[in-house]
Amino acid sequence: MEAQSAVEECLARWRNPYPYLAGLREKGERLIAYFCSYVPEEIIHAAGFTPVRIMGAMRTITHADAHLQAYCCSLARTDLDMALEGELDFLEGAVFVQTCDTMMRLSDIWRRNTSFPFHGDLVLPIRMGEDISLPFIREEVRRFRSRVEEYLGRMIGDEALAESVRIYNRNRRLAERLYALRRERRGVVDGLTSAACLVSGFWMRREDHNRMLQDLLEEWERKEAVDDGRVPLLVSGSTCTTPDLYELLQELGAEVVDDDLCSGHRYFDAYADESLDPEEALARRLWERVNCPAKHQCIEDRATRLLKQVGDSGAKGVVFYLQSFCEPHLFDIPYLRKRLQDEMGVPSLVLESELQSFSRGQLRTRLQAFLEMGSDLGM
Amino acid sequence: MVEEEKRTEEEKADKERRRIKSGAAMRDLMTRYYLEAKAAEGTERHIAWITSGAPVEPLIAFDVIPVYPENHGAMCGAAHMNVELCEAAEARGFSRDLCSYARGDIGSAITKGGPIGGLPRPTFLVACNNICNTVFKWYEELSRFFGVPLFIYDTPFVRGDLPQHIADYSLRQLEEYISFLEDITGKGYDEKKFMEVAARSFLASSLWKEVLVCNEHRPAPMTCFDAFILMAPIVTLRGTQEVVDFYQGLLQEMRQRVEEGIGILPSEKYRLLWDNIPVWYEMRNLGRLFMELEACLVADTYTSAWTFEGVDAERPLASMARIYAEVYLNINLERMADKIEALARRFQVDGMVMHSNRSCKPYSLGQYDLAKEFTRRTGKPVLIIEADHTDSRWYNRAEVENRIRDYVENLLGQDALV
């Protein structure tokens, strides 16, 4: 495979994944959507469906305003808007995880106002990683599997589930390699490319994504590092719906060397233990993986992790990229910024995204000002 | 001239006759409570800050003073002091899009501002996410700020009937909560005392329910704006004898008003349901407006959150595990619609006013669908007004008042709900 054309296709898919999803449906794939990285995709995959991620779109809202107030995040608003417009008709349904209050209510609103044949809910605790919540997560995973089986009309065999666990674990290992390459061998694969290669997997069969990553990594891992002289940065937040942020940073002479995004590093964190019963392995992975800000943090946990990531990646600055009105992220900002500044002298910038009124020019100006200020500080 | 004076005298007498007398007893109770809490700061006595939907009964049984930042937030809002507290938090990097209770509370912790000079410093914190997922983020921040332990009581969202694994998870956490209190206070768990506290809590809750039910009567003896004030003891101190005594007195007064036909408004033409947390800084103006329009807010979805149903007094922990998981904000829209419809029928309302509250997503997102469902089921119209519970910068008085006037005027000619 030509690496260059594969990367270009990934970028195009990131820019607008929806035509690709329609294409998958035309090829006979049965698509079940998810929004949140806490969905055990393996169960959907083992049932023979293709899990695909819906991450909003830049668009003017027409239908969703009749259901969601303007102080609701633009991911929820644009996702619902596409569904109500009929633009997601290639889906058979969607899975909602109780991550934040908005997603919790969106599930009901979506179910009441759309007519997809499948609707799934996964109610996860906020006390992740504590013994007290493990039996609860197990039961939720079991119930989710039953829900998918009920829709499928037959059981999902343990063998099939174990195979899906292996495929997804392989995907996580490849993602780890991709991230290590970007972090440790600078100049071989840039931030924009590696992010595009990772997120494009949200809209592909996982087996195809694994093959693509494998081929790309084999080619890239033969190359030597070159000093590109770019300012290394870390991006932290929720999702990057489009490649704009990464493209602009590249244009402005910076490079994203690591991230703390739920469409990035947090997505593939932690493996499902293949020596366990697959359902148990999936429950444990959700329980053990890195917490998202919508889960309870053992005090200082998230800042400590972020500081370590910044140190390990050599990032000289942090860009927080959030959805406007996103309470879980907004609450963490002051203390994360303070700890970055106090303990590492690392400057940070907070950018809020509203997909229905996105302005690339404004984003560019803010980033440029941050990088100029940063260079005065030796960033 | 004499006649005019006479009329004024009569109006005064009528106003006095309609005034709820128990308000004074409540103010005394709450003043004593805040004085005691403030005086306990820095002593041996434990002070816990706790969310409004969390189980307070174990704290009472362990002789811990519960302090409610949300109640304090309402007080700061009503005193028009919350905006400056919010600004103090905003200056520290907290976004204006975060809940104004949380911002005001963080601001008050920093500046010691507000009508009572801030809340007494906590020795530990208890947060329960049955009312929203904002609270645990907010309490994580408090935990960092004060450097004190935080107990999270996690109540997963309930769709349909309460599933067994949520009941089990809840019960295990209540047991853990009690162990946490044993560790922190150094006292053993006294089951007898806990049973007594739980019994008083359930009793106070049923008295409160009886108080609210008095509003079935026409004219209604109070509005839900009165209930928003009178609910302070049930929210903060349920489980104590004072609260039982207070609600017994209040219930007596309400029943007497019903018997004597004393309404809270001089004239009650329309009966309305209120949805969401009050607009605390605007209660007086809105109260006056509804009175002028002869519209009585007879019931609401908020104050009834503290009326517990299906209590098994012999198994208080199991009852609490269920009750605290199934509060109004932790259930799906269909169950919420059932509750709203039941309120509408019970209190025979002519419509519903929904406060779309910028600070409260679990309460507000879904309101548009609930409004449609309400009208479909009852045939009654709904008005949605935009505001924020304690950040008045998001409130446009003229616009909201005009919309309320238009709405109430259009109620004329509607059939009564049967």
Q: Is the dihedral of CA A131, A133, A137, A143 positive or negative?
A: positive
Tell me which residues of chain A have a pLDDT lower than 50. none
Q: Looking at CA atoms only, how far is residue B12 from chain A in angstroms?
A: 43
Interchain contact A97–B (C-beta under 8 A): no
Among B137, B390, B361, smallest CA distance to A331 is for B137
Strand partners, A94: A33, A119
Whole-number pLDDT of residue A85: 97
Which chain A residues have a beta carbon less than 8 Å from that of B157? 98, 104, 123
Instruction: Give B172-196 pLDDT, tens digit per residue.
Output: 999 999 999 999 999 999 999 999 9
CB contact under 8 Å between A332 and B369, yes or no, is no
Sheet holding A31-34, edge to edge: A50-53, A31-34, A91-97, A118-122
Q: How far apart are CA A274 and CA B210, in angstroms?
A: 57
ipTM of the complex model: 0.96
Q: Answer yes or no: are the C-beta atoms of B100 and B390 closer than 8 Å.
A: yes
Q: Is B169 exposed, middle or buried (0-12, 13-18, 19+ CB in 10 A)?
A: buried
Whole-number pLDDT of residue B417: 62
Token pair in block for residue B130: 């049955």
pTM above 0.90, yes or no: yes
Nearest to A109 among B362, B364, B369 (CB): B369
Q: Looking at CA atoms only, how far is residue A296 from chain B in angstroms?
A: 7
Q: Looking at CA atoms only, how far is residue A206 from chain B in angstroms?
A: 31
Nearest CA in chain A to B176: A132
Whole-number pLDDT of residue B95: 97
Whole-number pLDDT of residue A298: 67
Instruction: Give A226-278 pLDDT, tens digit per residue.
Output: 888 899 999 999 999 999 999 999 999 999 999 999 999 999 999 999 999 99
Nearest CA in chain A to B98: A327
DSSP H helical segments within A185-293, as ranges? 191-199, 206-220, 244-251, 265-268, 278-288
Nearest to B369 among A98, A112, A335 (CB): A112
Per-residue pLDDT of chain B in tens (418 residues, 90 and over written 9): 677 888 889 889 999 999 999 999 999 999 999 999 999 999 999 999 999 999 999 999 999 999 999 999 999 999 999 999 999 999 999 999 999 999 999 999 999 999 999 999 999 999 999 999 999 999 999 999 999 999 999 999 999 999 999 999 999 999 999 999 999 999 999 999 999 999 999 999 999 999 999 999 999 999 999 999 999 999 999 999 999 999 999 999 999 999 999 999 999 999 999 999 999 999 999 999 999 999 999 999 999 877 777 778 788 899 999 999 999 999 999 999 999 999 999 999 999 999 999 999 999 999 999 999 999 999 999 999 999 999 999 999 999 999 999 999 999 866 666 5
Best probe of the A interface among B361, B367, B382, by most A CBs < 10 A, is B361
